[in-house]
Structure 1
């Protein structure tokens, strides 16, 4: 885990706070990419390396602006209420779609307040168990859980996280009943799993990579159909048809942002995700760099929004800030 963030931290240094580039056009402020998490984190590092490439291709400065807090909702609300003339974009992930359904204080609406720009990639997750677990496949674990409803526990990075909701969806699709153990972040969840404090956890592939390779935990299934070199982890849909979970990483603009500008930025980003440094940055996070244009991103967001809204409603999940 430390090694992962050390590498991502180095990537973050590529751009600093203001990426060197020719002066911005006199008629508009520099392009600003807002990130809802602190500098040095995974999403921040990805934003900076993408911004670095974007700056070179657009031939103008690009600022990465961190506005952490409240699970990224502070940054999201900030961009939602920004003027299109501010030249501001949001670098976001799937959590921004989940938040309005679980936080009563969140008032933004992605379809009303934002215009999709481009999808940049997806972050993947695994179902994992402690190294001494009797479950060697997901089928084993489901069988164990069905034999003792409400006996086994699963860990997540916190209430309302995609890790938590993925675990709830697993129960909905298999009929098993587990006890949720929310941790205060992904690292404590991994440590608890490795120690055997929970019988299973949903963890990100990137964060858990060293744990898996060092046999500190056992990965039973990848929650999507993505494939990664060096990992022999079966896709979950071989056990549960139709189960497909990952977290998108994408750029959004406030509603009213210039459509031609969005098209131009999207075109540049379609090339950026083919850059070896960008691909490497995503790989370090257990993610795949993959591009979708504005229209395809909007369609994907609609489907993801509906999927997670159903899980949240079914399980009556809500969180107070």
Structure 2
């Protein structure tokens, strides 16, 4: 009896071992076949891009031939894994090519059918798929889906609305700024930077009128974004907008204004900056402005002497340091001697 059970266990073990080895063999065979297929797609796509960007005058490639070739290597609606791999190649290629060839790639991508793979992700329920789908759409310049992406600029998920806002910038350029005042969710600092960089990369020529249309927005993130655009494009004509927010009641707005101001070398507006200096309630921001005033103007003795009489010790020391290092040592000594005399301290 025990011997029969032992034989049964042995048979089952051998059967499991055979199944295991068959499974491993099948997986290896499939993997090898899949890798060969992916290499074929990659090589074919590279050849298509090369022939399209650098065509043979005697034998130019047509878009119909490209579509047929794509279908021949398995880029079909029924094989979405192949389509997704092609999308990945398309995005990677576009990111590595600049100039006129970058624009030509956009034309090519409109002719390679993605079989609605990306828009299917956008219509999916999960936020991750939505965000990935939106990124693929604007990377491949699929402008036909703009109307479906437009409502997602106010999506409750940060990553979905972030990609939707970038898509609007890519597709609409400066005209996309008109949606900024109507955004319900805050645009984070990282997102502001990405919007400005994407706008600058794709639309080098500034359209000041489009920017001025959103000057009336009272949203903090809108003000920050405007000032960062002014800074990135070096719009000296719009510097007054930055100056008007140096004494804003919101800390983040003042911080953005001071940060953007440092990209400009101003002379005529220095007196205005001095006039709003005392209205800034945060010492750290006052110190930043002091550095700007010092680097961009002549030493104003009255201005720094008045700062010596303020109640904040950091501002006093900073003012004394500037005067001391710029030939006004006696003025600083005289001021502090007067302070000691008034406090009843006398040196023998």
TM interval, shorter chain, is under 0.3
Q: Which has the higher helix share?
A: 2
TM-score, length-scaled by structure 1? 0.21
Q: Which has the higher strand share?
A: 1
TM-score, length-scaled by structure 2? 0.20
